[in-house]
Structure 1
Amino acid sequence: MEAVVVTETALKVDVPLVETPRPASVVEREELDERNVQSLDETFRYRAGVLSGHFGDDNDTDWFKIRGYDQSTYQDGLRVYRDGFYQWLPEPFGLSRVELLKGPASILYGETPPGGVINAISKRPTEESRGLVEVQAGNYEHRQVGIDVSGPAAGTDDVRYRMVGLFRSGEGDIDFTENERYYLAPSLEWDVTEDTELTLLSSFQKDDAVPYNGFKLPYGTVQDTPFGKVDPSTSYSEPSYDTNEREQSRIGYELDHRIDDTWRVEQRMRYSEVDLLLRSSYIAFQTGPRTGAQGLTYRDGRIDSWTLDNRVVGKWFTDRTENTLLLGLDYQDLEKQGEQANLFGTFGTIDLFDPQYGNFTPPSGAQIMDQHINKEQIGLYAQNQLRIDDRWVLLAGARHDQADVSDRVSGQEADVDETSLSAGLMYIADNGLNPYLSYTESFEPIAGTDQNGDLYDPIQGRQLEAGVKYAPRHLDGYVTAAAYRIEEENTLATTGGGAQAQVGERNTDGFEIESVAYFTEQLQATLAYTYNDSVTRNTATSGSEARAPLIPRNMASVWLDYAFDNAAPGLKIGGGVRYNGESEDKFRDVTVPSYTVLDLMARYDFGANWSAQVNVNNATDEEYVASCDYWCYYGAQRRYQASVSYRW
């Protein structure tokens, strides 16, 4: 960890994390390896403001709540569409780092939920030749082989390549669930001239799975029954029928050209597609002391998307100032087409405590509907950062978006014109203590319909934040603290049938502290604390208020690792504790108890190129309910993996 952590996601230009009035976090490749991150939603377990794992060990989706809200996922600065059950899942083995911008972020990214933006940065070609071969094995039949090679192309000085490949298979926490993944990501970098660089990025990923359905009822999880508790591994799905077959592919480029010492232009473009066949059955509701009705989610279709971001960046100086101007025009186009069926409680029946499978009826032709939704957005944005006397940082931005959403089956259309604003102010002190204020806005058109077939209205958010970032010269790392208020309108909430409806608004008052630093040359610590008071107001019931489901008021984590450089060279051990306070589901009148989870790691580097590592998540095999929101979800069970790697 270097003292100056740089983020591009916060401002779309490289900037030290502690010198921008925007709340951001970065997880580098070294940390991803150390904690053996297997899915994107494991990335920020030890960062403030981030809730993950609240739906258990899901193999279908990466689940996040940032400061109590949903977020957008980007890869290499361009949005990846994760619409409904059509989920794009970035493979962590193919990433160099992951960046997080917290809170509303429409000024730079257009349509986004109020939670913010997660930007997964792909591995890029390297100037020197290097390689990695890694083999892993663990419980739940975990098997993994990864290969990563890069360097200059043969016989050239200005062309570089990288090839990343992975195979992974394993079983899920729930009986009969499994997943098998194939991943390949070639990339090429070309110095066209001294001032122009072109990077080509592509990937292909195939998942064949029996989908994880963590849906459980409060009855038998957080509530007692005459028959005891439901075992966390109990499956209410139909293993012989359910499937999740997903193929995702992308190809795109990054073009950077320096015009002169002041101006440069950047262009990012990508085409991506997700093909999906999903048959996913689940428990819908209780029908008797021991029985429940099953539902089914069926999707057979694809998403095609184009994303384009054009930027002009100017940077100039005077005796007292440094000015960075960003002008941009971006375009996003999404087409989702296929067949769908949603059978709530009409698919089959099952015993809650001793499931017997096969008592179900597949959907008929009359129950399967066509789906064809188009979403198109174009945005124009401007942002200026002014530094005065290397003391003051003034940040201001504005953006205008036009978004069109149409449902070609129902004929409904929604046009959205939105202007988003942002502003920030920071003072940079000699002692490394940098206080700041910021204001940001967001909007999010929803490419979907409610249970009545009507298009959703855009979700709107705004955030006011005051904080301080601390990075003195004597500390190899940083400490940040922030207090914020987020307000959201047209909030989606789970209703009686488990469907989503826009029935209110949400306000969140929060406070968080985060630190990543080396206390000594051998001892590194990552500390985080979050307080989040998130309250929803239901406008359909005369403004009744309740705590937002899933969101605990208090979260805390600490990770320590120590390198035995002198006593046992090559040995490094680490461990972390994650605490989530109690949460509530007022709809079910359920309180979910708090829980604490322990993670452990040990690594030994031997020889010139070899490493062996063991990771254990939930080392005590704590059995806990992670959250409830109409349904309840057990948390991830104990997982351990051992790996051996060779680097050159």
Structure 2
Amino acid sequence: MMFAGLAPVAMAQSTDGEQEPGELQALEVTGSVLKVDVPLAESPRPASVVDREELDDRNVQSLDESFRYRAGVVSGHYGADNDTDWFKVRGFDQSTYQDSLRIYREGYFQWLPEPFGLERVEVLKGPASILYGEAPPGGIINAVSKRPSDEKSGIIELQLGNREHRQLDLDTTGALTDNASYRLVAVYKDREGDLDHTENERYYIAPSVAIDLSDQTRLTVLSSFQRDDAIPVNPFKLPYGTLDDTPYGKVDTSTNLGQPDYDKNERTQAAIGYELEHDVNENWSFLQNLRYNRLDLELRSSYVSYQDPADPRIAVQGLVYREGTTDGLTVDNRFTGHFFTEHTENTVLVGLDYQNLSGEGDQYDNFLDFGMVDMFDPVYGNYTPVTDAQLDDIETDKEQVGLYVQNQLRIVDRWVILASARHDWAETEAKTTAAAGGTTVEKSDDNQWSLSGGLMYLADNGLAPYVSYSESFQPLLATDTDSELYEPLEGKQWEVGVKYAPNWFDGYLSAAAFDLKEKNSLVQDGPQTVQTGEKESQGFELEGNAYLTDDWQVTLAYTYTDAEDKEDDTLNQLPLIPRHRAAFWTDYDLSSWVPGLKVGGGVRYNGESVGHSFAGDTLEVDSFTVADLMARYDFARNWRAQLNVNNITDKEYVASCDYYCYYGESRSVIGSLSYRW
């Protein structure tokens, strides 16, 4: 088809937007992944947050770099792709939102949030249909945009690095009038990809304004425009020459096995919307989020399809062609009420949301004979371009209406009881007009209830044990061999855990064990696809962040994931998902010895993983460990220099395999110079 742990802390902010050394505080999320103003430390839901300070410290360049030092999230398993963000949460796919509204990321039509334009990135782990409607069972990634501030501040930053990295950033905010403020964020970025002859040039601008319409009402208008011109990084490689030794050696990690003089990825994405906040009275408040977004895409991406039986050096190439437009209109209306008695506190959430996501355009897929290339000494140009006569015309439309209600009851400041229910009405239609003639229409019409609940105990010593349950559903726009629509995928998760954030300890620690099941999975039964499967992911997560001294901060994460497809007789683990992952980051403020100096570094471990081979065997991928470093120096007045190095040893490794194999990202070196006010 065309469109086919815990982090209950935020850095305390000084007046110029920077983190005060040695200070963490409980995070109260407003209009974000939980949709209510309750500390994550006091909610029986598994979530993690990466704030602006950490994004800056690690100089995050793409959304999927955000959670490298968090538990439960796998990213980078396809290498340094420059046209898609890749995540797996607790072994499953996830949905991506921006400002708590769905962004259209179907098939190759990928909306890419610019990291410099974000205030923080959040993940809600496990089924989340209670708050967000239809979604995969992995969870929700929510990117939160920068907002206007009444306080005048800004930054101008220049970055240079390897792979011809050039970047210029601007972020300025302040008051326009006594009741209005603005923010303007702009980025120019140009960098070569991890593969030879690939690159991406980006222009991004995001103006926003906030107006206090009255003492009870505030309107924030958010807009953005982004243009990417790229030769795409297509990281597909065969096991032959990556995992397997050959008489010709290994295929070089930077070898491009596409057709770079033909490949292109031109994407234009624009959005405008608003957030309207109104305090109805002392108990009730109302928030309406609305956004319209449009994405235009022209993609030609060639890739390795299979090995030529007549010559093991030669790879036969396939081609993906997409040209079209997607439009999205999303709106979320919700009332939040707070009610108190002598011994109880109720936080009530009642909401109604609507999504309309549509797309139209042309597509072409050639898996067998687009072109050929020598994997060990590529010479480009041996391919047959696609013609207009080969293009299929595709139209898709998805509508969803959801009504939800939730109550979080707090009893005698000890017990937290969470109960939620939601009903969704979802309709999806896809119309295909084939180049060879003939039109097919697939429709899906689903009504679904989703339930969620949790129980937590808040002890005086900072321990908060909890148990929770959540559900998800995901309609499938496909039919079986009898032309009957498949049933929606259904996800269900049980979780037990404990969150620890004592008053005497400047940080937090969390541990959780979960059991996540997906029902109605599609599996292969000979040449047919049948809906009899079940996937299950059981695991344990440990996550923490703390200041050990006023100057020394540490972040740690460990994930154990036992995920399997119960109908897969080949693998004993879901492909791409390692059983063990661990990460450790530490930074130290050396201002006591050298004023303005801060250094940090981290280590990321990815355990062994498995995948399918074309021959029906198991591909086994070795574990790997990479290290990152940063150094930051504030000098003169308002000036800052920073250096970030990821994969400091330039380790060559295979990140994952499933039929194809993918090298991990090579060393990245970026230096930056900024002026802040």
TM-score (norm 2): 0.92
Q: How far has the Cα of 1:544 moved from its partner?
A: 6.8
> Which of 272, 282, 286 is the matching residue for 1:265?
286
> Which of 23, 26, 31 is the matching residue for 1:4?
26
Q: How far has the Cα of 1:446 moved from its partner?
A: 3.9
> Which of 602, 612, 615 is the matching residue for 2:641?
612
Q: Deviations over 1:303-346 (max 9, x none)?
A: 10100101011111000000011000000001110000010022
> Which of 551, 556, 573 is the matching residue for 1:547?
573
Distance change in 2, residues 1:546/1:453 (3 Å):
farther
Kept in 2: contact 1:3–1:471 (CA 8 A): no
> Which of 553, 562, 587 is the matching residue for 1:524?
553
Q: How far has the Cα of 1:349 moved from its partner?
A: 1.2
> SS of 1:546's equivalent?
coil
| Corresponding letter in the other structure for 2:243 | V
> Which of 452, 455, 473 is the matching residue for 1:425?
455
Q: How far has the Cα of 1:225 moved from its partner?
A: 1.2
Kept in 1: contact 2:591–2:597 (CA 8 A): yes
Kept in 2: contact 1:494–1:629 (CA 8 A): no
> Which of 345, 350, 353 is the matching residue for 2:368?
345
Residue 580 in structure 1 maps to residue 606 in structure 2: yes
Distance change in 2, residues 1:246/1:495 (3 Å):
farther
> Which of 496, 502, 505 is the matching residue for 1:472?
502
Measured on the aligned residues, the alpha-carbon RMSD in Å equals 1.9
Matching of residues 203-242 of structure 1 within 5 Å: 203-242=224-263
Kept in 2: contact 1:537–1:545 (CA 8 A): no
Q: How far has the Cα of 1:265 moved from its partner?
A: 1.1
Distance change in 2, residues 1:413/1:169 (3 Å):
same
Q: How far has the Cα of 1:505 moved from its partner?
A: 2.2
Matching of residues 38-437 of structure 1 within 5 Å: 38-153=61-176, 156-287=177-308, 288-409=311-432, 410-437=440-467
Q: Could you tell me how far apart the structure 1 residues matched to 2:82 and 2:525 are?
A: 25
Q: Could you tell me how far apart the structure 2 residues matched to 1:454 and 1:71 are?
A: 26
| Corresponding letter in the other structure for 2:301 | S
Q: Could you tell me how far apart the structure 2 residues matched to 1:434 and 1:446 are?
A: 38
Q: Could you tell me how far apart the structure 2 residues matched to 1:626 and 1:329 are?
A: 41
Kept in 2: contact 1:3–1:475 (CA 8 A): no
Q: Deviations over 1:207-245 (max 9, x none)?
A: 000000000001111111111111011111111110000
Q: Deviations over 1:446-482 (max 9, x none)?
A: 4578999986642211100000000011111110100
> SS of 2:56's equivalent?
helix
Kept in 2: contact 1:400–1:420 (CA 8 A): yes
> Which of 25, 47, 71 is the matching residue for 2:48?
25
Kept in 2: contact 1:7–1:99 (CA 8 A): no
Unaligned runs of 5+ in 2: 1-10, 12-23, 433-439
Q: Could you tell me how far apart the structure 2 residues matched to 1:218 and 1:4 are?
A: 47
Kept in 2: contact 1:442–1:462 (CA 8 A): yes
Q: Could you tell me how far apart the structure 2 residues matched to 1:574 and 1:16 are?
A: 28
Q: Could you tell me how far apart the structure 2 residues matched to 1:297 and 1:445 are?
A: 25
> Which of 468, 473, 478 is the matching residue for 1:443?
473
Q: Deviations over 1:498-518 (max 9, x none)?
A: x99867321011000000111
Residue 460 in structure 1 maps to residue 509 in structure 2: no
| Corresponding letter in the other structure for 1:319 | E
| Corresponding letter in the other structure for 2:392 | M
> SS of 1:408's equivalent?
strand
> Which of 588, 591, 594 is the matching residue for 2:620?
591
Kept in 2: contact 1:83–1:447 (CA 8 A): no
Q: Could you tell me how far apart the structure 2 residues matched to 1:495 and 1:131 are?
A: 58
The size of the alignment, in residue pairs, is 642
Q: Could you tell me how far apart the structure 1 residues matched to 2:608 and 2:621 are?
A: 5
Q: Could you tell me how far apart the structure 2 residues matched to 1:496 and 1:240 are?
A: 39
> SS of 2:591's equivalent?
coil
> SS of 2:85's equivalent?
coil
Kept in 1: contact 2:259–2:302 (CA 8 A): yes
Q: Deviations over 1:30-60 (max 9, x none)?
A: 0000000000000010000011000000001
Q: Could you tell me how far apart the structure 1 residues matched to 2:522 and 2:249 are?
A: 34
> SS of 1:411's equivalent?
strand
Q: Could you tell me how far apart the structure 1 residues matched to 2:482 and 2:159 are?
A: 48
| Corresponding letter in the other structure for 1:189 | A
Q: Could you tell me how far apart the structure 1 residues matched to 2:372 and 2:206 are?
A: 43
Q: Deviations over 1:271-296 (max 9, x none)?
A: 00110000000000111311111000
Q: Could you tell me how far apart the structure 1 residues matched to 2:442 and 2:77 are?
A: 34
> SS of 2:577's equivalent?
coil
Q: Could you tell me how far apart the structure 2 residues matched to 1:207 and 1:408 are?
A: 28
Matching of residues 556-567 of structure 1 within 5 Å: 556-567=582-593
Alignment correspondent of 2:566: 537
Kept in 2: contact 1:375–1:447 (CA 8 A): no
Q: Could you tell me how far apart the structure 2 residues matched to 1:502 and 1:604 are?
A: 57
> SS of 1:184's equivalent?
strand
Kept in 1: contact 2:232–2:265 (CA 8 A): yes
> SS of 1:547's equivalent?
coil
Q: How far has the Cα of 1:180 moved from its partner?
A: 0.2
TM-score (norm 1): 0.96
Kept in 2: contact 1:55–1:635 (CA 8 A): yes
Kept in 2: contact 1:373–1:447 (CA 8 A): no
Residue 644 in structure 1 maps to residue 666 in structure 2: no
Q: Could you tell me how far apart the structure 2 residues matched to 1:195 and 1:104 are?
A: 34
Q: Could you tell me how far apart the structure 2 residues matched to 1:172 and 1:455 are?
A: 40
Kept in 1: contact 2:571–2:618 (CA 8 A): no
| Corresponding letter in the other structure for 2:583 | S
Q: Could you tell me how far apart the structure 1 residues matched to 2:149 and 2:565 are?
A: 48
Distance change in 2, residues 1:10/1:88 (3 Å):
closer
> SS of 1:3's equivalent?
strand
Q: Could you tell me how far apart the structure 1 residues matched to 2:223 and 2:360 are?
A: 23
Kept in 2: contact 1:199–1:254 (CA 8 A): yes
Kept in 2: contact 1:350–1:356 (CA 8 A): yes
> SS of 2:200's equivalent?
strand
| Greater Cα offset, 561-570 or 274-283 | 561-570
Kept in 2: contact 1:232–1:634 (CA 8 A): yes
Distance change in 2, residues 1:461/1:634 (3 Å):
same
Indicate the percent of aligned positions where both proteins have the same amino acid.
58
| Corresponding letter in the other structure for 1:577 | V
> Which of 526, 530, 542 is the matching residue for 1:513?
542
Q: Could you tell me how far apart the structure 1 residues matched to 2:107 and 2:25 are?
A: 40
Distance change in 2, residues 1:500/1:555 (3 Å):
farther
